[in-house]
Amino acid sequence: MKPLVEKALLEWKEAFDRTHESAVNVLTLALPGLAVAKTPSYCCPVTLHIDQPGIGEGKVCVDDDHRATVELDNVPNAVIAEGVDELFGIAWFDGADGPLADAGPGSYAYDDESTAGEYEVVIGTHGIGRVYAAYVPVGYAVELLDALTSARERQEAELAVSGAPGR
């Protein structure tokens, strides 16, 4: 390889690695408790894991194209409803005719045509649901995680003020 090309390729690789490192930083700030996990050989270069009561369990992966996939189970329905409606707006997801808090148990989806990202939230039957976002830009995943975290924090603060027993 020509020295000039080799130097430019090395600079690109370093920038690529810095972008992944920055993605880890911003994702873990958006969802406290999210931490770097061992990445299976068949998976994306970056895998983050969480198992935290009140916000859920699952993983976030960042692929070579700097797109994120968020898979969170055991997320309180109230956190999903408030966070998603706050971020996207009321009735943004297919099947939701109003606020997600008023929607019955079921799966609600949104496909972002501009990014090819896929979103699905499941409002569960026992107060616990699921959040899934696939192939979304890292920034969008950060916004989603931050909205869920903010919803959980608001709800916990309200419980503390009201004196109601927590989760």
Q: Provide CB contacts within 8 A for 118, sequence distance 6+.
A: 109, 110, 111, 112, 132, 133, 134, 135, 136
Calculate helix-pair angle for 138-162, 3-30, nearest 10 degrees.
20
Q: What's the confidence (pLDDT) of residue 164?
A: 63
**Would 58 be classed as within a structural domain?**
yes
For residue 118, tell me if it sits in a domain.
yes
Question: Using one digit for the tens of pLDDT, what is the confidence trace for 62-82?
Answer: 998 989 999 999 999 999 999
Please, are residues 80 and 149 in contact by the beta-carbon 8 Å criterion? Answer: no
pLDDT at 7 over 60: yes
In a domain, 141, yes or no: yes
User: Quick one: pLDDT band at residue 42, thresholds 50, 70, 90?
Assistant: confident
For residue 137, what are the domain limits?
Answer: 3-162
Domain count, the chain: 1
pLDDT for 162 equals 83
pLDDT higher than threshold 60 for residue 11? yes
In a domain, 76, yes or no: yes
Does residue 152 lie in a domain region?
yes
Average pLDDT in the 112-127 region? 95
- Confirm whether 92 is domain-assigned: yes
Say if 167 falls within a structural domain: no
The amino acid sitting at 42 is Y
Tell me, yes or no, whether 68 lies in a domain: yes
pLDDT of amino acid 12: 93
